[in-house]
Amino acid sequence: MIGPKAAWLPENQLASLGIVATIVAAITLATVCGLEWGKWIHNIGGMAMITLFVGLILLPIWAVWEHRLGKPGIDRGVGLALMLPPHNLRSAALFGQMLVGALSGLEYIAIFAGESRQPERNITRSVWIASPIICAMFILGTSSVVSFAKPGSVDLIAPIPQTLRIALGNSGIGNLVVMAAILLLQLRLVGAASYLFAGVTRLPMAVGWDNLLPAWFTRLHSRWKTPVNSILCTFGLVILLLVLASVGVHAQEAFQVLSNASLTHYELMYMAMFAIPLAGTGALRKSVPGWLKWVSLVGFFASFFSLLISTYPFVHVVNPLEYAAKIGGTVLVSNAAAVAFYKLRNRGIYRQEIIKTPS
């Protein structure tokens, strides 16, 4: 929003961590207050996203109307063209992320359904409406970006602000429009982060209900009735991941490490989910329709491909092997810790049941 004079800010780790930590703290506070407050953050973020993408998609049309794509310093991208991406590992890595990232998140329906009004009707309707809109936003928004920015020079952290700066400049009315658009983008990101954070923080509570985590995670806030301990634990974990991902690397690499390391866990979860209709209990497999099995098979292999390609960096990194090791190591360590904790917890519960059971 500030412009070129603040170009140093993303690479200043102390300033970046301070800004992000403040935003995460604000989201944590909103999550403690529950969906009564959080839904407004989500709604404002959604409206900001739609408004921003409408402007982004119309930007090339405006540029052609104003004959700006042919002016020096403006026509930096591929222009208005229909083309396939190059056949290389970088394209495969980007495609792998989009396979899982573009339309994932619908599983949060199950998490929030109990806190929603008429979830069967309202959420089902929202999925049918939102899915084609999301696809159109991805495709047309990408077309707008590459109309102004060369594909090899696209800022993968902030492609939309970069595109707006190229198209509208850094001064005058154009600068004010860009600043307003970037503000909308930040509102969209905060809304999405709040939505994801609220969903994630309810998972340890649910696991605690099954006695697989200490009862401490299930305690609710006296006023807001939200899992406050689970929320605070997740806040600490997020801050820790932010610090670890930023040590000794540039901003884009830190962003991709966080994004890909988290996406790998998401991909594993999706593989398990898609495997249920294919390898679940016999009664379950008989109850699901055939089309669902085929869709699950496609989803399983799409998630598996995305998992395999996630360790390949599609941005410049200091050390590619170290980058891959960070992502692979994060997956192995986190899952090893989870399995170990699960077995120890089960063993402890089993011993307690033996002690309580009369001989």
pLDDT in tens, 241-289: 888 777 766 766 777 777 778 888 888 989 999 999 999 998 999 999 9
Average pLDDT for residues 310-335, to the nearest whole number? 81
Residue pLDDT, tens place only, 119-151: 888 888 888 888 888 888 888 898 888 888 876
Distance separating alpha carbons of residues 82 and 21, to the nearest angstrom: 41
8 Å CB contact between 52 and 158: no
What does the pLDDT read at residue 353?
Answer: 67
What does the pLDDT read at residue 22?
Answer: 94
Residue pLDDT, tens place only, 74-102: 545 555 566 777 888 777 777 877 777 77
Tell me the residue type at 121.
R
Give the chain's mean pLDDT.
Answer: 83
8 Å CB contact between 235 and 227: no
What does the pLDDT read at residue 31?
Answer: 94
Distance separating alpha carbons of residues 43 and 36, to the nearest angstrom: 12
Distance separating alpha carbons of residues 326 and 195, to the nearest angstrom: 27
Q: Which residues contact 131 (CB under 8 A, 6 or more apart)?
A: 103
Query: Two tokens at 288?
Result: 């699901």
Distance separating alpha carbons of residues 354 and 265, to the nearest angstrom: 35
Distance separating alpha carbons of residues 195 and 39, to the nearest angstrom: 8
